[in-house]
Amino acid sequence: MKLKNVFLAYFLVSIAGLLYALVQLGQPCDCLPPLRAAAEQLRQKDLRISQLQAELRRPPPAPAQPPEPEALPTIYVVTPTYARLVQKAELVRLSQTLSLVPRLHWLLVEDAESPTPLVSGLLAASGLLFTHLVVLTPKAQRLREGEPGWVHPRGVEQRNKALDWLRGRGGAVGGEKDPPPPGTQGVVYFADDDNTYSRELFEEMRWTRGVSVWPVGLVGGLRFEGPQVRDGRVVGFHTAWEPNRPFPVDMAGFAVALPLLLAKPNAQFDSTAPRGHLESSLLSHLVDPKDLEPRAANCTRVLVWHTRTEKPKMKQEEQLQRQGRGSDPAIEV
């Protein structure tokens, strides 16, 4: 065979094949039906998801017999607070969350010599049922400028002051002055003003008989810290920091029934407790770890987060203060 013929044949064959292939690509391939079916399936699934979401958003059917408000145990929320730049913002958003919870009594304890207008005004405008208390942290216990937060335990005197008020030892400077009458069904929760609380958390704790516990998010260097539950009982604790604490739970991770607190009139927080043992200093008076009541779906849901707010930078403000042109102190922030 001559070489010219070889090349010619080669060339013609290639062209023919190429044309054939191009024609094939132009036609809709018969892989379309499975393609359409898959797209249709996806569409159906997405529709279903949207339907389910809409269903979830619909308010749940009202229970046949809504419990009378008087029958609901009251949640006493104890919040220590102190004056700093973000104080008003923190209290505003905490009060907004608390407003969503029925039968709630807010015990706000200021670390101050006397009640401040900022807090008094905020409480009055909040529309919540509240009691306003004040107690100054003794100088030895107070953090100095620049000291890290863990050097002294914070809020101890304030929380103990709230416990005193609940026990009928008085001290209220504003709001509801009378302590709960004996026999009141209620639960006490220590809520710091910079954490984040979901509504569901309060319903979980409301029916506590002794001490109930649940996981807390973003604390102890972990995504969450919480009790480990088997067969409805607490058998251990998922924690990485100082796991030998008798109660390795955060302040936001437990609630105490009011009758239990009143039955143990000497149970309070110990300001000399070592770092991280503050919660244990109270709980060891009240209950054994094995008797803790797990909540939040056997401690598998995170309903409270240990968020912390950044200290706002005030470089400009300090500059202006030095020049005598600081911001108007009459404008409350």
**Which residues make up each annotated binding site for Mn(2+)?**
194
The CB-of-64 to other proteins minimum distance in angstroms stands at 18
Tell me the catalytic residues. Answer: 279
The CB-of-319 to other proteins minimum distance in angstroms stands at 8
The CB-of-154 to other proteins minimum distance in angstroms stands at 16
Listed in sequence order, the residues at least 6 apart from 246 whose beta carbon sits closer than 8 Å to its beta carbon are 277, 280, 283, 284, 289
How far is Cα 150 from Cα 145, in angstroms, rounded to an integer? 13
Whether residue 237 contacts residue 204, with contact meaning beta carbons closer than 8 Å, is answered with no
- Residue 75, CB half-sphere, CA atoms under 13 Å: how many? 25
Nearest one of 181, 180, 90, 169 to 129, comparing CA atoms: 180
Nearer to other proteins, 183 or 329 (CB): 329
Annotated binding site for UDP-alpha-D-glucuronate: 80-82, 111, 154, 159, 192-194, 306-308
| The residue type at 327 | S
* Residue listed under structure tokens 């949640």: 75
Nearer to other proteins, 245 or 271 (CB): 245
Nearer to other proteins, 228 or 284 (CB): 228
Nearer to other proteins, 1 or 140 (CB): 1
Cα 238 to Cα 87, 111, 224, 281, distances in angstroms: 32, 33, 8, 20
Whether residue 107 contacts residue 133, with contact meaning beta carbons closer than 8 Å, is answered with yes
The CB-of-55 to other proteins minimum distance in angstroms stands at 9
DSSP state of 168: T
SS3 236: strand
